[in-house]
Amino acid sequence: MVRIGPYELSSNVVLAPMAGVTDRPFRQIARRFGAGLAASEMITSDVRLWTTKKTQRRLDHAGEPEPRVVQLAGADPDALAEAARRNIDLGAQIIDINMGCPAKKVCNRLCGSALLTDENLVAKILEGVVAASSVPVTLKTRTGWNRDQRNGVRIAQLAESCGIAALSVHGRTREDFYEGAAEYETIRDIRSRIGIPLFANGDVDSPEKARAVLDFTGATGVMLGRAAHGSPWIFREVNYFLSRGEIAPALPISEVSATILAHLESLYDFYGEETGIRVARKHLGWYFEKLQDAPDVRRELMAASTSALQFALTKTCLDRLVEDARPPLRPGEVSQRAFG
C-alpha cells in the first residue's frame, strides 16, 4: 500500500484535482468507489479572496473521509505558506501544491505549470510550504513547460530534496495542454531518480491502461482525471483489475441510478437551488453521455429550471433504464412491476 506521511492509502488509484469538478460531493462519491485520495479543487493562496462563496465552498470538508487533501495555487512562497497553515487549521491533512495547471488565467500569474520555468522559485515555494506545514505536503506537476524544456526529472529531484512527501506527474508539458497523447517516458525517468511515492497521470482511462502505465513507469500509483467524468465508479473497476487481473462485473444499473440521484441531492444541498442546478447539468451531461441505451434527454435536463424538475426528469429516465434491465418474466409469473 501507499503511505504519505502518517496516512496509509486504501488504494494506489487516486482522483486528480480538477477545477469545477472535484467539489466535496464528487470527492465523496469517488472515495466511496475506491479512490485512495481525492484532492480539493484548486484554492488560491491569496487569503484576501477567501471570502467569496466559491472559495468558502472549497474550504468546506464536512463529512469528508480522511485524509483530507487541499490543493493550493500561487507564486508567492510566503502567501502559500500562510495559506497552508490556515487550511491545516481548517482540517486539511495533506497540502498539495499545484504546478500542473495549464490554464492561461493561472499561468499568466506565474502560477500552475508556469512555475516550471523558474526552478529557483519552485525551490523557495516547496521549502517554505513544507517548513510551514505540520502535515505532509505533496506536489502536482507536468513533465515541463514545453517539449524543449522538459525538466520534470529535475523538478522531481528538487521536490524530494525539499521534503515533498509524494509527487503526481501529468505526462504532458504545459505547451501540450491536453492535446495529443500523454508520454510516460519522463515519468519512468522520474521514478528511477526519486524514492518518494509517484503517481502517473494523463490518459489513464481504463483498468487495462492503468495496469500498462504502472508496468511501464514503475510508478507507485495512477491518478485519474477526465476518465472519472460521468463514471466515478471507474475507481472500483481499476482497483478490481489491478488486484485480480480481471475485469470487474458491471455495476448494476440500479446502483448507477442510485449514485446519480444521490449525487444530484448532494449538489442541491451543497450549492443551493440556483448553483446546484447549474453544476448538476454538467455532471448529468457526462453521466448520460456514458450510459448505454440511455435516451437522449440532455436537452430536457439542461432546460429544467428547478431542482425538483431536473431531479424528476432524471429519475424518470433512470427508472426506465432499470426497468429495461430487469430479467424477463418466466412463463406463468405474474408481474408486480406495474404496482412497484
As a whole number of angstroms, the distance between CA 98 and CA 44 comes to 10
CA distance 129 to 125: 6
**Which tens digit of pLDDT belongs to each residue from 96-117?**
999 988 777 776 666 788 899 9
Judge whether 333 lies within some domain.
no
Residue 105's pLDDT is 72
The last residue of a domain, from among 185, 210, 244 = 244
In this prediction, residue 113 carries a pLDDT of 85
Domain CATH code at residue 112: 3.20.20.70
Q: Respond yes or no on whether the N-terminal peptide bond of residue 67 is cis (omega within 30° of 0).
A: yes
DSSP SS3 for 236: helix
Does residue 41 fall inside a structural domain?
yes
What are the tens digits of pLDDT across the range 232-249?
999 999 999 999 999 999
Has 101 been annotated as catalytic? Answer: yes
Instruction: Give the end of a domain, one of 226, 244, 262.
Output: 244
How does residue 71 score in pLDDT terms, banded at 50, 70 and 90? Answer: very high
Q: Are residues 121 and 169 in the same domain?
A: yes
Q: Residue 150 has what pLDDT?
A: 92
Residue 336 belongs to some domain of the structure: no
- Whether residues 157 and 271 share a domain: the answer is no
* Domain co-membership, 227 together with 151: yes
Of 253, 266, 206, 239, the closest CA to residue 23 belongs to 266
Range of the domain at 108: 3-244
Same domain, 279 and 151: no
Query: Of 195, 211, 244, which one is at a domain's C-terminal end?
Result: 244
Catalytic annotation, pick one of 101, 107, 111, 162: 101
Residue 338 lies in a domain: no
Residues 284, 143 within the same domain: no
Is there a single domain that holds both residue 66 and residue 213? yes
Can you spell out the DSSP letters for 92-132?
Answer: -SEEEEEE----HHHHTTT-GGGGGG-HHHHHHHHHHHHHH
pLDDT at 303 over 70: yes
Total domains present in the chain: 2
303 and 200 in a single domain? The answer is: no
Tell whether 10 and 156 lie within a shared domain.
Answer: yes
Say whether both 217 and 257 belong to one domain: no
Percent of the chain with pLDDT strictly greater than 90: 79
Range name among 44-53, 170-179, 225-234, 320-329 with the lowest pLDDT average: 320-329
pLDDT band at 176 (very low <50, low <70, confident <90, very high): confident
